Amino acid sequence: MNPMDNELTPRDNEFGLAKAAAESAPILDQSAGSFFKQLQGFWVTFIMQFKKVNTVQYPEVKEPTAERFHGRHQLNRHPDGLEKCIGCELCAWACPADAIYVEGGDNTPDAQFSPGERYGKVYQINYLRCVFCGLCIEACPTRALTMTNEYELADESRSKLIFEKEDLLAPLRAGMLMPPHPMYPGSTDTTYYKGEVPGADPSQGATTNV
């Protein structure tokens, strides 16, 4: 069998020159039917004047994106404020554009940033490289990394488009404490992953006024 001879190979009789030549022939036809066909084309243009305009006056007007739009990343937190990122670097490995750089660090009893042994010490996403494919989000084993709908990612220098961990971390919500702080009393990392930690306990540190 000819290796070229598969269904993806275009053939002369379908898309080839011979067919194009055959289709272009009627344009030369000077009959009344041909004149009507030309009017049909002008009519489409004419009728568009009375249709609703789709143009949005960005940036004065901003429309919400689709719900699952791939925008800027966010590093999420557990309900008590501890970071979800464990510094495993799987996002960096999944990234086809090599836009993510992660360095993990050890949690110590004095400085606990995430439940368990490790946390993301350095976390950078280079938005000059990111293609917003979302493979990093699929790779993340703790749902630490998700994408927001924020799409306004332009700036005047290259360095400003390398987002650091502070830029990516989700803001503290009510009931959260700024890490480092100890884990929820009586909890393990499993408790956190099962979603059984309701929010920061007073014993984890000074109460937040958020």
Partner 1 sequence: MTPENAVMTDVEMVTVVIDGFDVTVPKGTLVIRAAEKLGIQIPRFCDHPLLSPAGACRQCLVDIEINGRAFPKPQASCTIPVENGMIVKTQLTSEVADKAQKGIMELLLINHPLDCPVCDKGGECPLQNQAMSNGRSESRYEGVKRTFEKPVSISSQVLLDRERCVLCARCTRFSEEIAGDPFITLNERGALQQVGIYEKDPFLSYFSGNTVQICPVGALTGASYRFRSRPFDLVSTPSACEHCASGCSMRTDVRRGKTLRRLAGEDAEVNEEWNCDKGRWAFKYISSKERIAGPMVRGEDGELHEASWPQALARAAAGLKGKRAGVLVGGRSTVEDAYAYAKFARVALNTNDIDFRSRLHSDEEAVFLASRGVNFNVSYRDLDKADHVVLVDFEPEDESPIVFLRLYKQVRKRGLKVTTLSPVLSRGSEKLGAAIVEDIASISGLSEKSVIVVGERAAEVIGQFTSVVKLAQSTKAKVAWIPRRAGEVGAVVAGAIGNLLPGGRPVADPAARVDIASVWGVESLPAAHGKATWEILEAAGDGRLDAVVIGGVDPLDISSEALGQLLGASTFVLSLEISHSAITAIADVVLPVAAVSEKSGSFLNWEGRPRFFEKAIADSLTRSDLRILSMLADEMGTPINLPSSQAAAKELQSIGEWDGAKADAPSVSPATLTAPSGDQAILHSWRQLLDLGTLQNGEPNLAGTARAAHVLISANRAKSLGLSNGDLVKVSTARGSITAPAQIGKISDSAIWVPRNSIGSQCIANLGAASGLVVTVVKA
Question: Which residues contact partner 1 (rule: CB under 8 A)?
Answer: 86-90, 93, 104, 117-118, 139, 141, 190
Cα separation, 28 vs 205, whole angstroms: 84
Which residue type sits at 190? T
Which CB, 86 or 176, lies closer to partner 1?
86
What tokens appear for 36 in the block? 């009507």
Shortest distance in whole angstroms from residue 98 CB to partner 1? 13
- Decide whether 139 or 178 has the Cβ nearer to partner 1: 139
Q: How would you class 81 by CB atoms within 10 Å of its CB: exposed for 0-12, middle for 13-18, buried for 19 or more?
A: buried
H-helix or E-strand spanning residue 105: strand 100-106
CB 81 within 8 A of CB 177: yes
Helix (H, G, I), strand (E, B) or coil at 34: helix
CB of 114 within 8 A of CB of 210?
Answer: no
Min CB(117)–partner 1 separation in Å: 7
Provide the minimum distance between the beta carbon of 140 and partner 1 in the complex, in angstroms, as a whole number: 10
* Residue whose CB is less far from partner 1, 167 or 189: 189
Query: Residue 120 CB, nearest distance to partner 1 (Å)?
Result: 11
Q: Measured from the CB of residue 79, what is the shortest distance to partner 1 in angstroms?
A: 22
Do 67 and 157 contact (CB within 8 A), yes or no? no
Identity of the residue, 69 or 93, whose beta carbon is nearer to partner 1 in the bound complex: 93
The smaller minimum CB distance to partner 1, of residues 122 and 153, is found at 122
